[in-house]
Amino acid sequence: MNARLLPLLGLLLVAACKQEPPPPPAPAPAPRASATTHFLGSAPDGKLHVYFLDVGQGDSALIVSPEGRTVLVDAGPASAVNHLINRLPELLAARLDLVVLTHPAPDHYGAMEVVQKIANPRQLLEPQLPGNPPEYDTLLTTLGSQGVAIFSPAPNPSQPQELMRLPLGKDVELTVLWPRAPSHPLLAVQTSGNGMAAQHEANSIVLRLVHGKTSVIFAGDARSETEAALLNGGAELGSTLLKVAAHGADLATTEPFLQRVGPQAAIISLGEKHAPGQATLARLKAVNAQLFRTDVVGEVHAVSDGEKFVLTTQKLQAGESPNAEHVFVPEDKNALPFIALTPPPAPAKPEPAKPEVKPAAAKAVSAKAPDVDLSRFDKVVEVSPKRGEERAVRTGKKSRGSGELYYASRHKQIFHKATCPIVKKIHAENLVTYTSREDAMKERSPARDCNP
């Protein structure tokens, strides 16, 4: 190489080393979650589905109506983010219609930001309480800026006493039982702890979901003060299932509330290192409610056809078969008191005429239960004003023909006077009749509402 070219080549090499590499291409803007989330849920099947999600120490439940409308009741704690990222797309067939945040507690809204990204909800219902944590208000502001319509459960100004009702399709309705501001003032709670948190709990949104004859109450973190307000307000509370308030803590789920609700099954959402209050468990046992805990059985799936609820669990309990199902049939709330009939009089000793079961009604009963041995039971008649006919039903005790009658449901461990309003709610096939208080006491305890 020519010696004069060497210095020039060196300068060119130095310049090449100092040259900056070309900048990387600008990253493409992140697509919206609705464009990237693949919803895997199946098409509506005409049944109501409620998934009580296993989110640890927190609350989250997904409602899917028979027509496919969806509501997420609470979004769980921040620790449940990974679970919700995977589970919600599996259950949803499209974006969420509504999210309900029952109150501003982190274990109920902690994963909401991620829920927005993966499920893109259209609307959000929250109680609009005073003294919210700053991060909660920031979350609401962010959600609003992303197009989520946020509203609160204020009643219709023209009908302030009416409850807010959210239709989810034919024969399915979600009713907001509490709070009802401004027609009813928010509850104030006297406590030595965090007073604002206690007030938020007491004014937690309480919902009642109804499909046909079946229903569920979602109690959020309601307290005993909330339950007292609901009882005094006269709202319809009777429900097949109860989502237990406050993760089963003893500050709620009072005996009067449980007596009014009458749940056949109770679901408690809590983490593995937590436990419900012993007093709460005792009260649930006293009303004969079957208990399902997410820390024990995992996710609970409840399906209603409008006539009954069928519950299955993610994890089997001890002794359960792999296909175990728990069926809960609500008692007939429109049934009238039952009138016991004495046996027909003997011909040799005529007595005043007594009511007789019409042949058509007896035939109808035989068609419903052809395999029942009628000789072991006394006849009881229920008069239906809608159809104007008598329907023979059966009880499990022989009548002695005298004395005051007492009644119970075969699903409950308590018995009532014949005049007790609860008797009207007991369906025919579940009715048990006692001809004396002594017989009733041998098998059950007296109900506290009527003190039989």
The string of pLDDT tens digits covering residues 103-117 is: 999 999 999 999 999
- The owner of tokens 């493409």 is 28
Task: Tell me the range of 12-16, 310-314, 430-434, 445-449 where mean pLDDT is highest.
Answer: 310-314
Mean pLDDT of 33-38: 57
Asked if residue 108 lies in contact with residue 79, where contact means CB atoms within 8 angstroms, the answer is no
What is the end-to-end Cα distance of the chain in Å, rounded? 119
Rounded-to-integer distance, Cα 380 and Cα 139, Å: 59
What does the pLDDT look like over 137-168, one tens digit per residue? 999 999 999 999 999 997 777 787 789 999 99
With tokens 């004395």, the residue in question is 403
Q: What is the mean pLDDT of residues 177-197?
A: 84
Does 4 or 428 have the greater pLDDT score? 428
Distances (CA, A) of 265 to 137, 278, 329: 35, 17, 11
Share of the chain above pLDDT 90, in %: 53
pTM over 0.75: no
Average pLDDT, the chain: 79
Burial-class residue 89 by CB neighbours within 10 Å (0-12, 13-18, 19+).
middle
pLDDT in tens, 373-422: 223 223 322 223 332 322 222 233 333 333 588 888 877 778 888 888 77
Q: What percent of the chain has pLDDT over 70?
A: 75
What are the residue ranges spanned by the domains of the chain? Answer: 33-328, 339-346+353-446
What CA–CA distances, in Å, run from 420 to 244, 341, 409, 417, 434? 26, 19, 13, 5, 14
List the strands of the sheet with 379-384, edge to edge.
339-340, 379-384, 389-394
- Smallest CA-to-CA distance from 189 within 177, 178, 198 is with 198
Q: Identify the pLDDT of residue 270.
A: 93
Looking at residue 290, what is its pLDDT? 96
Superfamily of chain region 33-328: Ribonuclease Z/Hydroxyacylglutathione hydrolase-like (3.60.15.10)
Reported in sequence order, the residue ranges of 225-378 that DSSP labels E, i.e. its strands, are 241-243, 265-268, 290-293, 300-304, 309-313, 326-328, 339-340
Reduced to 3 states (helix: H, G, I; strand: E, B; else coil), residue 409 is: strand
43-80 pLDDT, tens per residue? Answer: 999 999 999 999 999 999 999 999 999 999 999 999 99
- Cβ contacts of residue 438 below 8 Å, gap of 6+? none
Q: Which helix (H) or strand (E) holds 124?
A: strand 123-125
Please tell me the distance from the alpha carbon of residue 244 to that of residue 291, in angstroms, as a whole number. 10
